[in-house]
Each structure stands twice: as C-alpha cells, then as structure tokens.
Amino acid sequence: MTVLSVPGSSVTVRVPAKVNAQLAVGAARPDGFHDLANVFLAVSLYDEITVTPAESLRITCSGPDADQVPLDRTNLAARAAEALAARYGIAPDVHIHIAKDIPVAGGMAGGSADGAGALLACDALWSAGASSPASREELLAICAELGSDVPFSLLGGAALGTGRGELLTPLEVGGVFHWVFAVADGGLSTPAVYGEFDRLTAGTDVPPPAAAPALLDALRSGDPTALAGALANDLQPAALSLRPALADTLATGTSAGALAALVSGSGPTTAFLVKDEEAAATVAAALRASGTCRTARTATSPARGAVVTGRTP
C-alpha cells in the first residue's frame, strides 16, 4: 500500500478526560480483567497531541505533570503510532508532542486520551496518501487493543462500556453537567485498585454488572439532582482502602455544597457534581483552601471526543 506524508506537515488533535458516572464491576475473569457496566462521560479537560513526520519515533511532553509521563515506547501515544503504522505497512516515524492538562494516573483516562489522540493524529497524516484508509471501526479496534478506556477517548460524549469497557454504546445526554475535580498528590495504579476490589469482595457473590435505569434516565433528562442520586462507583471502597485520606476530600466537597461526591474511576482524583457554574467555583475554592487535595479543576460534560483541531502547513 502506498502512503505519502508531507514532510514538515503536522496534525494536532484535542482529546478529553473522562469521569465514570457509573462503574459497576463484576467478578474477575479468567484473563484477569473484570466485566463492567461502565457509564463514561467525557469532560472538558483536554490533552493536545501534535504529530509531525520525523526521522524516528520520538515523544515529548509539556505541562505541570510532564515529568510523570513516560517518554519511551511504553507511552500509549507511542504504542498507538506503532499499531497504526503496522496497519499502513510503514515505519512510525513521527515526533509526538503531548501538551498534558489531564491529571496523570488520576483515574481520568489521561494515558488513554493520549493513545486515542495520537492514533487519530497519525491517521490524519497517513490516510491522506493511502490507497485504503483505516475505517472508524478499525481505529476503534486498535484503541481496544491499546487499553479498555481508549475507545471511549476516541468517541467522547457519553457511552455505556461493556465487556472490559471497550464495547461502546453511545448514550443520549439532555443537558450540560458541571463538575469539580479534586486532583490528589500522587497517582493510584489501576491494576492495584482492581486487585484491592478483588481482595475486598473475596468470598462474596459479586453480581453481574448492569447499568442502572435511573442513571440512564438522569443522563437523558439532563437533571443534575437526578444524576447526583444515581452516581455509583464499585471501585470507590477499593480506592478508599488504598488511600483513606480521600474520605476527607469527599467530605470537604460535600460540605461546600456539591450535589454528589465520588472517586473518579480508579482514583485518586475525586469528582463532585454541582448544580451550576457558580456552585462549581464555590466547591473548587473550598477544596483548594482545605489542604485535602493538590488542586481543584472545574469542567463540564459531555465533551466532544478526539478531534483534529489544527494542521500545518
């Protein structure tokens, strides 16, 4: 297959973080993963990925947490470029720059966002001259190989993820939801949190995961009070067991007027659903002043999935 890319040209993609409105976790499967009913919502915190043709594959990263991001081939953005280059039968010779704004190892799918963003950016570079461009389905299949959260980072909006979270059904959302995210010091390892879930549920009957009808109704209605009553995260006890101090962060946001507080995915970021923009500012200020988190960010959902935002020349 012939693939042409224009030397010097570059593509920039913007890709959102996520919060899990519901994370229902089933028992561990033989392959070590857990079946999920994972209600993803994309939120308006973004990483920006720029890819430029180069002599060889190279990654750079900027932003406050850049020193925590691996710059070798373990980076999901590098793995995405390699997987797509194999599909096009070419070498993955690109410089990938990650402008990182999503907290690292925070349970907000930051690495997954970079994988999906790099995949879309490389596809925009390489598909133009290809005799058979990759289809959206192929891109989603590569995302699923990279990680369970990666397909949703490409899709964005709101979706129910089943299987290990990679099988997506888009969901309707009837309004804009306002969130505050309390960013913790240090990350939590996703496998360690699932491992703690297994330890805490050992000897109990873990029911098959299912999306709650009340949650899906609340998303459709766009009513934050209804959504607040339906938010649920089965990994929260495990995250709190590994990081007990998160209970203080959750209590701080609730006292400051949040409609609901929960751990975001595998944590340690905590998420606070609030009524409106004004409440978001109040809760964020209280969290920042409390000393129970490193910083607090405000955001809205749903947010658009990975999208090309720039091209040069």
Ligand X SMILES: C[C@](O)(CO)[C@H](O)COP(=O)(O)OP(=O)(O)OC[C@H]1O[C@@H](n2ccc(N)nc2=O)[C@H](O)[C@@H]1O
Binding-site entries: 103-113
- Taking alpha carbons only, the member of 156, 179, 171, 177 closest to residue 220 is 171
Is there binding between residue 190 and ligand ATP (CB under 6 A)?
yes
Annotated binding site for ATP: 103-113
Give me the least distance between CB of 124 and ligand X, in Å please.
Answer: 23
Is there binding between residue 260 and ligand ATP (CB under 6 A)?
no
CA distance 40 to 280: 20
Site for ligand ATP in 149-168 (CB under 6 A): 149
> Of 108 and 283, which has the nearer Cβ to ligand ATP?
108
The dihedrals phi and psi of 48, each to the nearest 5 degrees, come to -120, 130
> Of 100 and 283, which has the nearer Cβ to ligand X?
100
Amino acid found at 61: C
Is there binding between residue 92 and ligand ATP (CB under 6 A)?
no
Instruction: Count Cα neighbours of 147 within 13 Å in the Cβ-side half-sphere.
Output: 22
Give me the least distance between CB of 67 and ligand ATP, in Å please.
Answer: 11
Active site residue 198: no
Is there binding between residue 22 and ligand X (CB under 6 A)?
no
DSSP-assigned states of every residue in 120-188:
HHHHHHHSTT-SSPPPHHHHHHHHHHH-TTHHHHHHBSEEEEETTTTEEEE----S-EEEEEEEPSS--
Give me the least distance between CB of 282 and ligand X, in Å please.
Answer: 28
Q: Which does 165 bind (CB under 5 to 8 A by kind): ligand ATP, ligand X, none?
A: ligand X
Active site residue 100: no
CA distance 22 to 155: 18
- How many angstroms from the chain centroid is the CA of residue 152? 7
The dihedrals phi and psi of 160, each to the nearest 5 degrees, come to -95, 125
In the set 67, 149, 234, 275, the catalytic residue is: 149
Q: 11, 13, 23, 49: which one contacts ligand X (CB under 6 A)?
A: 23
Neighbours of 247 (CB within 10 A): 14
> Quick one: which H or E segment has residue 77?
helix 76-88
Site for ligand X in 242-301 (CB under 6 A): 265-266
Q: Write the binding mask 33 to 52 for ligand X: x where contact by CB under 6 A, - elsewhere.
A: xx-x-x--------------
In the set 18, 65, 100, 114, the catalytic residue is: 18
- Taking alpha carbons only, the member of 158, 167, 143, 168 closest to residue 305 is 158
Give me the least distance between CB of 37 and ligand ATP, in Å please.
Answer: 16
Site for ligand ATP in 265-294 (CB under 6 A): 265-266
Is there binding between residue 231 and ligand X (CB under 6 A)?
no
Is there binding between residue 149 and ligand X (CB under 6 A)?
yes
